Amino acid sequence: MFIMMPLWHIYGKQNLSNEAYRTTPQAYLAKAQAMVDQYTVRTETAANLPVVRPPPGSDVYLVARLWQWWPLLELEQGQSYRLHISSMDWQHGFSLQPVNINAQILPGYEMVLTVTPDTADSQTIICNEFCGLGHHNMTGKIYIVGGGQ
């Protein structure tokens, strides 16, 4: 059983990276805002949430805060992205459904995951670490679009 864990690091395709940085909410939010300003393609919902479509291979900044995942993202199927995630306030749980990828998100820490969306379906981000009264309404979206549009 032990053998499987290092083996999967070498041969398996699903490993959490070891890349993480110390950050502050202000510094992180500034980077996310810059990305939103540059790549927003439209807004959605009553709150006019920005939908951001960053170029493949780029750094994508996802903000976890009470109680939303911000901004909404649009990624190309089969392309890789460097997905950064950090919390602005309390602890949150990144849970991507229905594909079912889960990670713990902490304030002050910036986690970097290189992900390659290989499903055609768009995914919903839900929060699975209890974060107060609005916890169950904390959702976000990753739209998946076919390559070359």
Partner 1 sequence: MSKELFRTCPESGLQFHKPAELLMRSHAVLAVVILLFGGITALLVTLTRWPAVHLLPADRFYQILTLHGVNMLIFWIITFEIAVLYFCSSTLLKCRLATPRIAWLGFALMLIGIVVNNSAVLNGDASVMMTSYVPMPANPNFYLGLILFAVGALLGCFIFLGTLVVAKEEKTYEGSIPLVTFGALTACIIAVFTIASGAVILIPTYLWSIGYINNIDAAMYRLVWWALGHSSQQINVAAHVAVWYAIAAIVFGARPLSEKVSRTAFFLYIAFLQIASAHHLLVDPGLSSEWKIFNTSYAMYLAVLASMVHGLTVPGSIEVAQRAKGFTNGLFQWLRKAPWGNPVFSGMFLSLIGFGFIGGISGVVMGTEQINIIIHNTIYVPGHFHATVVIGTTLAFMSLTYFLIPVLFRKQVMLPSLARIQPYLFGIGMMVFTLALMGAGTLGVERRHFDMAFTDAMIGFDYPASAYTLMGIAGMAGVAAILGGAIYILVTVLSVFFGKPVGSESTYGFTTSTLTRAEPIIVPDGGHAAAGKWGFAAPGTFLLAIFFLLVFVLYYAVNWKYLASVWPMS
User: Is 99 a binder of partner 1 (CB under 8 A)?
Assistant: yes
What b/e readout covers 62-98, taking b as 16+ CB neighbours within 10 angstroms? bbbbbbbbbbbbbbbeebebbbbbbbbebebbbbbee
Output the CA torsion 7→57→38→40 (10° steps): -70
**Per CB under 8 A, 132 contacts partner 1:** yes
Asked if 147 interacts with partner 1 (CB under 8 A), we say no
Single out the residue of 68, 70, 71, 73 in contact with partner 1 (rule: CB under 8 A): 68
Give the separation between CA 133 and CA 16, rounded to whole angstroms.
Answer: 29
Using CB under 8 A as the binding criterion, the count of chain residues that bind partner 1 stands at 66
Tell me which residues touch partner 1 (CB under 8 A).
1-2, 4-6, 8-9, 12-18, 20, 22, 45-47, 49, 68, 72, 89-91, 93, 95-111, 113-119, 124, 126-133, 135-141
